[in-house]
Structure 1
Amino acid sequence: MNAPAFQYGAVSSPIVTPFDADGGVDTHALANHVETLVDAGLDGVVPCGTTGEFASLTDEERRTVIETVVEAADGRIPVIAGAADTSVSGVLARLRFAAEAGADAGLITLPYFHTSTDPDGQRAFFERVADDSPLPIYLYDIPATVGESIDPGVVADLAGHDSVVGLKDTSGDLTGIDAALRRTPDSYTVYQGVDAQLYPTASLGVDGGINALSQVIPEAYVALGEALRAGDDDRALALHREAIAPLFARCAEHGFAPAAKVAAGHRGFIPDPRVRPPLTLPDAAGREAIADDVDAALEVV
């Protein structure tokens, strides 16, 4: 299988799931948000990821979100659909629906709650999914929520599978992402999932990022990609230090689904930042601080 085509320095957005006043998925706001990000020049969108609160959505709502995003993207940028679940059959069911909806690829984690007792367990889980996947798949390494990192040997082994085309690394471990880059072929795509590490890992050879705050200050991420491709390190470093890293640090205090929603709401990208329990929104002071950091970031661009 072939992965969607991206260029060096590309950034895709793991988009939030807006909710309406009744608490349901606001499909109109979601479609408008996708349109905003397409117009801003981002390279892809990722519905039903961590920032999209996928774990708080019903199966029907997940379907609605992916269908809405695919329709809104309208083939202009790739859609990588989150398909995480705790069982092989559950992941495959989500991948099949994403394929039917028109998504270009799927993004899968290790099972959460149960962790593996041996790297062979991780390998077997991913292999069984990959063997029957209707879509190209990206592995998603996010130990903070899954409970363990993907073993580097498993990443290397799975890179040879026809269906496994890349990795989103949100481990925060620079040694680990360097190992993934060294032990996988050039055709294998490695994305940085930690916004504040996108620029630092560019020198290691990451292909780009899947970054939550790209839906808040897309101008900064587009400019960073342009600077990286042009070899303008001074410009890239300034965007990293003065725009992306400070906002990332602020949002990390509050969690990225709530913080991204507050920040996107401040930009007028979504009408309502409400989240579902157990997530909570920042207090008034926190919201003001996030808004101030968004404005400061935009001044750098």
Structure 2
Amino acid sequence: MSKNSFHGVLCPLVTPFADGTVDEASLSTLVDWLIEHDIDGVVPCGTTGEFASLSPAEFRTVIETTVDAAEGRVPVVAGVAGTDIQTVSERIEFAASAGADAVLLTQPYFHTAPTPAGNQQFFETVADGSPLPLVLYNIPACTGQPIAPETVAAVADHDAIVGLKDSSGDFDYFLELLRVTDDEFTLLEGYDQHFVSGVHAGSDGGINALSNVVPEVFAEIRDEAFGGDTHTALEREQEAFPDLFGYCMEYGFATVAKAGLEHRGVIDSAEVRPPLVSLPDDVVTDIHHLVGN
């Protein structure tokens, strides 16, 4: 697999639940629906997939169900975040055995003072033993700090480290990554409202939570942005995303995406797990209006 194999709009899947358990049927339906709506890849067990609320057995179920549903039609990039190398490596081995195409990896979280050198060592140690390509995942709101640009530049030449998803919302940071990495290193914008700006600046696309609920809008924006019609793409992005994205920032991406998906009849339940909670009724009504039918 080349370093630039991921392009366009990849969807960080929600994990549907029914009566407290993973709803495999709804997950399969979601994957199929997204592919029918021209999404370029799927990402199970990410932040929007509530990976931190899944048991080890559920993690395996979600990965296997996603790979089976995708049927090789689009790449599957499995989230494997963890705080120790052994656990992360075991998750990668499982993702490989299940048929995933790559994995998405945060830097270790919870540690109060990880250094750039320590994060670099973590990534390189995992990558040295990985049977799958690694896409790094910068989400400082959850890990406590960003992946330093110098760390990204240092590991970008590793054969197994093929790209990075940036969910920081700091566009200057994203531009710096474009500057310090070459064209073979895949950069994906994780902040939905920066998708078009990222493409215009030179990104390869994005991994965007709202593509769960409005994949057809994302597909149109992708085609316009990569086709050079930046003005139309920006107008469409600014019309479609700000209110939905605002709710996501306030209540959580999984919560909002599930409310929209239940309304559109793609999944059977908007159920989430603590610490996430159900949305207020007035917010649900607004989300239903915003996502349409």
Q: TM-score, normalised by structure 2?
A: 0.97
Match of 1:212 in 2: 209
Q: Is 2:24 the counterpart of 1:17?
A: no
Q: Which amino acid aligns with 2:90?
A: A
- Contact preservation (8 Å) 2:193, 2:241: yes
2:190 and 2:22 map into 1 onto residues whose CA distance is 25
Question: In the alignment, which of 62, 79, 82 is matched to residue 82 of structure 1?
Answer: 79
State the identity as a percent. Answer: 48
Question: In the alignment, which of 40, 43, 49 is matched to residue 40 of structure 2?
Answer: 43
Q: CA deviation at 1:141?
A: 0.3
2:81 and 2:230 map into 1 onto residues whose CA distance is 36
Q: Is 2:194 the counterpart of 1:197?
A: yes
Match of 1:234 in 2: 231
- Return 156-165 or 222-231, whichever deviates more: 222-231
Q: CA deviation at 1:87?
A: 0.3
Q: Which amino acid aligns with 2:21?
A: G
Q: CA deviation at 1:3?
A: 4.3
Q: How many residues in Structure 1 have an aligned counterpart in Structure 2?
A: 293
Q: CA deviation at 1:76?
A: 0.2
Question: In the alignment, which of 92, 95, 100 is matched to residue 92 of structure 2?
Answer: 95
Q: Is 2:271 the counterpart of 1:257?
A: no
Q: Is 2:123 the counterpart of 1:142?
A: no
- Return 270-279 or 234-243, whichever deviates more: 234-243
Q: Which amino acid aligns with 1:233?
A: T
1:210 and 1:64 map into 2 onto residues whose CA distance is 22
Q: Is 2:154 the counterpart of 1:183?
A: no
- Contact preservation (8 Å) 1:195, 1:245: no
Q: TM-score, normalised by structure 1?
A: 0.94
Q: CA deviation at 1:234?
A: 2.9
2:3 and 2:155 map into 1 onto residues whose CA distance is 15
Contiguous gaps of at least 5 residues in structure 1: none
1:200 and 1:233 map into 2 onto residues whose CA distance is 8
Question: In the alignment, which of 279, 285, 288 is matched to residue 288 of structure 1?
Answer: 285
**Cα deviation code 1:57-110 (max 9, x no counterpart):** 001100000000000000000000000011011111100000000000000001
- Return 241-250 or 260-269, whichever deviates more: 241-250
- Go from structure 1 to structure 2 and tell me whether the alpha carbon gap of 1:38 and 1:269 turns closer, same or farther (over 3 Å shift): same
Q: CA deviation at 1:252?
A: 1.9
Q: CA deviation at 1:4?
A: 6.8
SS in 1 for 2:22: coil
Q: Which amino acid aligns with 1:5?
A: S
Q: CA deviation at 1:6?
A: 3.7
Match of 1:132 in 2: 129
SS in 1 for 2:104: strand
**Cα deviation code 1:188-235 (max 9, x no counterpart):** 100000101112222211110100000100011000111012212232
Question: In the alignment, which of 124, 149, 168 is matched to residue 152 of structure 1?
Answer: 149
Mapping 1:31-70, distance limit 5 Å: 31-70=28-67
Q: CA deviation at 1:250?
A: 2.7
1:258 and 1:228 map into 2 onto residues whose CA distance is 28
Contiguous gaps of at least 5 residues in structure 2: none
SS in 2 for 1:38: helix
Q: CA deviation at 1:116?
A: 3.9
2:4 and 2:72 map into 1 onto residues whose CA distance is 11
Question: In the alignment, which of 118, 123, 127 is matched to residue 121 of structure 1?
Answer: 118
Q: Which amino acid aligns with 2:254?
A: A
- Go from structure 1 to structure 2 and tell me whether the alpha carbon gap of 1:103 and 1:4 turns closer, same or farther (over 3 Å shift): farther
1:5 and 1:125 map into 2 onto residues whose CA distance is 24
Question: In the alignment, which of 158, 162, 183 is matched to residue 161 of structure 1?
Answer: 158
1:193 and 1:181 map into 2 onto residues whose CA distance is 14
2:45 and 2:137 map into 1 onto residues whose CA distance is 13
2:283 and 2:218 map into 1 onto residues whose CA distance is 23
- Go from structure 1 to structure 2 and tell me whether the alpha carbon gap of 1:80 and 1:282 turns closer, same or farther (over 3 Å shift): same
